[in-house]
A and B are shown apart, each in its own frame.
Chain A
Amino acid sequence: MKLLEYQGKELFKDYGIKVPNSYLAKNIEEAKKGAEKIGFPFVLKSQLTVGGRGKAGAILKCKNEKELEEKFEELINKEVKGEKPKSILLEEMADIKREFYLSFFLNRTKRCYSIIASSQGGIEIESVDNKIIIDLPDVNEISSELAADVADKMNLTTNEKNTFIDLIQKLSKLIYEKEAELAEINPLAMLDGGKFVALDAKVIIDDNALFRHDDLKKYEELSELESQANNNGFSFVELDGDMAIIGNGAGLVMSTLDMVSDAGGKAGAFLDFGGRATTESIYQALKVISKVNKIRAILVNLFGGIVRTDLVAQAILNAYNDGTIKVPVFARITGAESEKARELLNNSKARLFNTVEEAINAAVQY
């Protein structure tokens, strides 16, 4: 779960990491209230999970009330990479002396957490040469010695260094206690007087750990479809096209997506209902899909062996019979009882195929 900037900053504050004064506004009335509190000029920041907000023009300076009205309106309606904000953060401008970069992240390759720090902040860390990366020895708050090693490389005075060490330790505490995959401050600004302030916050929480973090569940923003899928134990992703792809296994559904795309089709939904396919779970999967209006065909790719194909066929039949689905189903089903499955679906809008290639071709040409 990727937190929005303001949510990440709420966590930062909880851990004693300083952030600029700000005000979250969902509409222009709230924004005007916020403007009174913060005072012009300030920055308007669209609250989006996608990266590259600055480049996309989703962060704007705001000098007066007239600008506020125009720019707030612009930002709240502006879609960036397919995402539309629900709120805009008004944030005071900082008097920046220097900019740094600091993050803790889950290092998949090394199978540990690592810290990255750089005395060059504000730009994408991938493009910075001058940075240090240290792998952390265990899943505990970073030691002050290790934090000092990092701070030593930042070209700081003794006082500044101590503040920086303290900041590193606070952020490491956050990442382990909240089970984040990433906690990034970029830029981390040093103000006059050596105070460090997090100007941005990028925090990704491990979804699999959410069950023990009730305090973070409030940040989970699932669409109705996503939560319905979640409740059934499915993985569901809505996409741009018009074909729904259902299967038993994430890799298999991804692979089907690729083949559909190669065949000139466009997937509109990805649904993995996991290893345990029953008549009920497949019926529920079709029910989720039926709520995605743009879908005009459903492609089912099941690898048999564990799944009984007649149970799958029964689920599809049930979904037709009670009107849950109306669009045609193209199903690749092999395995036990496939003759029986065919018979069941003989008079329906579902067609069964032996290979996924055949099913895809039929679905794409439909």
Chain B
Amino acid sequence: MSIKFDLLDILIGNENDKDYKNKPIIIQGITGSFGSTHTKLMKGYGTNIVAGVTPGKGGHSFEDIPVFNTVAESVKDNSVEISGIFVPAPFFLNAAKEAIDNGIKLLVAIPEHVPIIDSIKVLEYAKKRGAKMIGPNTPGVIVPEIMKVGIMPAKPFTKGSTVVFSRSGTLMYEVSYTLSNAGYGQRFCLGIGGDPINGTNLIEAFELIKERDDVESIVVVGEIGGDAEENLAEYIISTNFSKPVVAYVAGRAAPKEKKMGHAGAIVYGNYGSAESKVSNYSKANVPVAKSPSEVPELLKSKLKK
């Protein structure tokens, strides 16, 4: 049994909703240095952060946002479905479970260095309770000019009808920036995450937009490691995916068996190699840019067809 998951509906809602484009969100780890910096930036961007959670800091407030000791207290006055999780990695498992236990339907899991077993446990827990996770080790998700949950800067993103799915944070900014400059605004941009285990993987991300009329094209920013791009290429072929897709793959020049910054960016033999990804993409007729700045040209020619 799988429940239809509509990310944009959760993030901004429908025109008929009272809180359309103003959905309430909590931030777990709101008083930490990372959490507080980005809470301020998210709020400034238009995200409706109604409460924060930091155990031991209940009763305080930050940027006029009340801080609570527990998720349960933080959601009691609002029907909150989204939590931005900014806690340090060792606390992630418990923070995520607590969120799910209290009705959160979408976890945006920012922390890097979450143990793999914890990610799997959260996924199992979320699945049984109908919740979804983005990340961990993700910059988060942004609906340009409306709201963002995450750590991305505002500048690279403009509203429009393409979407960017990215396994890398900074490259999501970089590619979105080149797209924005070329006139390709984004409906939303989603960080898949740099870990081996992703709460929302590339195929699930594609499922989110395949039937959306407001999404015209997709840019996938990938990197070496794992077989997410290979599986995506197979998905594009087997579902006759009709929207134009352009890809970028980072790490062609990286050595094998070395972890290149991201926990998931490692090649074993041919498994996870850039060549494997590029050749699978070409079977699916997905052009692969040589550099981030080449993405808009490829998209342009793909859209012409």
Chain A residues at the B interface, C-beta cutoff of 8 Å: 2, 49-51, 106, 108-109, 111-113, 126, 138-139, 176, 179, 181, 206-209, 211-212, 235, 237, 239, 247-255, 257-262, 267, 270, 272, 274-276, 303-306, 335, 355-357
Using Cβ atoms and an 8 Å threshold, which residues of chain A touch B117? 139, 176, 179, 206, 209
Known: A250-B262, A254-B223, A303-B174. 13 other contacts (CB 8 A): A106-B196, A108-B264, A112-B120, A181-B196, A206-B116, A208-B113, A251-B221, A254-B254, A255-B291, A258-B253, A272-B261, A275-B151, A275-B170
* Shortest distance between the CB of B139 and any CB in chain A (Å): 8
* Shortest distance between the CB of A354 and any CB in chain B (Å): 12
Q: Which of A109, A139, A211, A356 interacts with B120 by CB under 8 Å? A: A139
Give Cα distance in the complex from A255 to B291, angstroms.
7
Contact B116 A270 (CB under 8 A): no
Give Cα distance in the complex from A363 to B169, angstroms.
25
- Would you give the 0/1 interface string for B137-168, flagging 1 where the beta carbon is closer than 8 Å to chain A? 00000000000000111111000000000111
Nearest chain B residue, comparing its CB with the CB of A179: B117
* Shortest distance between the CB of B17 and any CB in chain A (Å): 31
A selection of 20 A-B contacts at a CB cut-off of 8 Å is: A111-B198, A126-B269, A179-B115, A207-B263, A208-B113, A209-B115, A209-B117, A250-B168, A251-B261, A254-B168, A254-B250, A255-B174, A255-B248, A258-B250, A258-B290, A262-B253, A267-B253, A272-B261, A303-B170, A357-B291
Q: B231 at the A/B interface (Cβ < 8 Å)? A: yes
Contact A108 B260 (CB under 8 A): no
Using Cβ atoms and an 8 Å threshold, which residues of chain A touch B124? 138-139
Contact A305 B263 (CB under 8 A): no
* Shortest distance between the CB of A67 and any CB in chain B (Å): 31
Contact B253 A251 (CB under 8 A): no
List CB contacts (< 8 Å) of B149-197 with chain A: 151-156, 166-171, 173-174, 177, 194, 196-197
Q: B29 at the A/B interface (Cβ < 8 Å)? A: no
Q: Which of A2, A49, A113, A249 interacts with B170 by CB under 8 Å? A: A249
Contact B250 A255 (CB under 8 A): yes
Q: Which of B153, B255, B262 interacts with A306 by CB under 8 Å? A: B153
Give Cα distance in the complex from A296 to B16, angstroms.
61
Give Cα distance in the complex from A111 to B120, angstroms.
7
Given contacts A207-B263, A211-B90, A357-B293, A251 and B196 within 8 Å (CB-CB): no
Using Cβ atoms and an 8 Å threshold, which residues of chain B touch A357? 291, 293
Using Cβ atoms and an 8 Å threshold, which residues of chain A touch B257? 2, 49-51
Nearest chain A residue, comparing its CB with the CB of B226: A108
Give Cα distance in the complex from A239 to B260, angstroms.
11
Give Cα distance in the complex from A165 to B158, angstroms.
57
Nearest chain B residue, comparing its CB with the CB of A213: B115
Contact A252 B171 (CB under 8 A): yes
Give Cα distance in the complex from A356 to B290, angstroms.
13
Using Cβ atoms and an 8 Å threshold, which residues of chain B touch A248? 170
Given contacts A106-B196, A138-B124, A251-B250, A270 and B114 within 8 Å (CB-CB): no
Give Cα distance in the complex from A270 to B223, angstroms.
15
Contact B260 A305 (CB under 8 A): no
Contact A305 B259 (CB under 8 A): no
Q: B121 at the A/B interface (Cβ < 8 Å)? A: yes
From DSSP, what is the main secondary structure of chain A's interface residues?
mixed
Contact A235 B173 (CB under 8 A): no
Give Cα distance in the complex from A209 to B121, angstroms.
14
Using Cβ atoms and an 8 Å threshold, which residues of chain B touch A304? 153, 155
Among B112, B253, B265, the one with the most A-chain Cβ atoms within 10 Å of its Cβ is B253
Q: B216 at the A/B interface (Cβ < 8 Å)? A: no
Give Cα distance in the complex from A351 to B14, angstroms.
50
Using Cβ atoms and an 8 Å threshold, which residues of chain B touch A111? 120, 123, 197-198, 201
Ranked nearest first, the 10 interchain pairs of A and B with the lowest CB-CB distance are A251-B168, A250-B261, A249-B170, A305-B153, A261-B253, A209-B115, A251-B171, A235-B261, A252-B170, A272-B261
Using Cβ atoms and an 8 Å threshold, which residues of chain B touch A138? 124
Among A113, A254, A272, A356, the one with the most B-chain Cβ atoms within 10 Å of its Cβ is A254
Q: Which of A50, A181, A235, A251 interacts with B166 by CB under 8 Å? A: A251
Using Cβ atoms and an 8 Å threshold, which residues of chain B touch A270? 254, 260-261
Give Cα distance in the complex from A212 to B170, angstroms.
29
* Shortest distance between the CB of B174 and any CB in chain A (Å): 5
Contact A208 B115 (CB under 8 A): yes
Q: B224 at the A/B interface (Cβ < 8 Å)? A: yes
Contact B265 A106 (CB under 8 A): no
Contact A208 B291 (CB under 8 A): no
Q: B304 at the A/B interface (Cβ < 8 Å)? A: no
- Would you give the 0/1 interface string for B204-243, flagging 1 where the beta carbon is closer than 8 Å to chain A? 0000000000000000010110111001000000000000
* Shortest distance between the CB of A292 and any CB in chain B (Å): 15
Q: B251 at the A/B interface (Cβ < 8 Å)? A: yes
Contact B252 A261 (CB under 8 A): yes
Give Cα distance in the complex from A66 to B224, angstroms.
46
Q: B89 at the A/B interface (Cβ < 8 Å)? A: yes
Contact B290 A262 (CB under 8 A): yes
Using Cβ atoms and an 8 Å threshold, which residues of chain B touch A208? 89, 113-116, 263
Q: B305 at the A/B interface (Cβ < 8 Å)? A: no
Give Cα distance in the complex from A272 to B265, angstroms.
13
Among B116, B194, B265, B291, the one with the most A-chain Cβ atoms within 10 Å of its Cβ is B116
Give Cα distance in the complex from A212 to B223, angstroms.
29
Given contacts A108-B264, A235-B261, A252 and B290 within 8 Å (CB-CB): no
